[in-house]
Structure 1
Amino acid sequence: MTLASSLARRDPLPDNAPHVLLVDDDQRIRELLGRYLQDSGFRVTTARDAETARAAMRGLAFDLVILDFMMPGESGLDLARDLKSMSPIPICMLTARAEPENRVEGLEAGVDDYVTKPFEPRELVLRLNNIMRRGRIGHEPRDEIRMGDYAFSVERGELRRGDETIKLTERERDLLRLFASRPGSPIARHELASDESTGSERAIDVQINRLRRKIELDPSNPVYLQTVRGKGYILYID
Structure 2
Amino acid sequence: MAEPAADILVVDDDARLRALLQRFLAEQGHRVAGAADAAAARSALASMEFDLLVVDVMMPGETGLEFVESLRREGSDTPVLMLTARGDPDDRVAGFEHGADDYLAKPFDPRELALRIRTILRRAQPAAPAAAPLGLVQLGDRWFDAERAELRTPDGVQRLTGGETALLTALARRAGEVLSREDIAAALGTPDAGERSVDVQVTRLRRKIEADPREPRFLHTIRHRGYVLRPGP
2:203 alignment partner in structure 1: none
2:31 alignment partner in structure 1: 43
Please give the alpha-carbon distance, in whole angstroms, between the structure 1 residues aligned to 2:118 and 2:86.
Answer: 23
| Deviations 1:206-230 (CA, angstroms, capped at 9, x unpaired) | xxxxxxxxxxxxxxxxxx9963344
Please give the alpha-carbon distance, in whole angstroms, between the structure 2 residues aligned to 1:40 and 1:27.
Answer: 20
| Deviations 1:155-196 (CA, angstroms, capped at 9, x unpaired) | xxxxxxxxxxxxxxxxxxxxxxx9xx9xxxxx734x59xxxx
Q: How far 1:95 sits from its partner (Å)?
A: 0.3
Q: How far 1:98 sits from its partner (Å)?
A: 1.1
Is 1:53 the equivalent of 2:65? no
The question of whether the paired residues in 1 share the 8 Å contact of 2:93 and 2:196 is answered with no
1:124 alignment partner in structure 2: 113
Please give the alpha-carbon distance, in whole angstroms, between the structure 1 residues aligned to 2:62 and 2:92.
Answer: 18
Note the residue ranges of structure 1 that are not aligned, 5 or more in a row.
1-15, 143-177, 182-186, 193-223, 233-238
Structure 1 pair 21/225, CA: closer, same or farther in 2 (3 Å)?
closer
Aligned 1:2-41 pairs, distance under 5 A: 17-41=5-29
The question of whether the paired residues in 2 share the 8 Å contact of 1:21 and 1:44 is answered with yes
Please give the alpha-carbon distance, in whole angstroms, between the structure 2 residues aligned to 1:55 and 1:115.
Answer: 25
1:112 alignment partner in structure 2: 101
Please give the alpha-carbon distance, in whole angstroms, between the structure 2 residues aligned to 1:136 and 1:227.
Answer: 22
Q: TM-score, normalising length from structure 1?
A: 0.54
Percent of aligned pairs with the same amino acid? 43
Give the 4+ runs in structure 1 shifted more than 2 A. 137-142, 224-232
Note the residue ranges of structure 2 that are not aligned, 5 or more in a row.
132-169, 174-179, 198-233
Structure 1 pair 127/82, CA: closer, same or farther in 2 (3 Å)?
same
1:103 alignment partner in structure 2: 92
Q: Which entry has the higher C-alpha Rg, 1 or 2? A: 1
| Deviations 1:84-111 (CA, angstroms, capped at 9, x unpaired) | 2221110000001112111111101111
Please give the alpha-carbon distance, in whole angstroms, between the structure 2 residues aligned to 1:127 and 1:225.
Answer: 8
The question of whether the paired residues in 1 share the 8 Å contact of 2:80 and 2:102 is answered with yes
Structure 1 pair 135/103, CA: closer, same or farther in 2 (3 Å)?
same
Match of 2:181 among 172, 177, 188: 188
Please give the alpha-carbon distance, in whole angstroms, between the structure 1 residues aligned to 2:124 and 2:118.
Answer: 10
Q: How far 1:41 sits from its partner (Å)?
A: 1.1
- What is the DSSP-based 3-state SS (H/G/I as helix, E as strand, rest coil) of the residue aligned with 2:8? strand
Q: How far 1:17 sits from its partner (Å)?
A: 2.6
Aligned residue pairs total 146
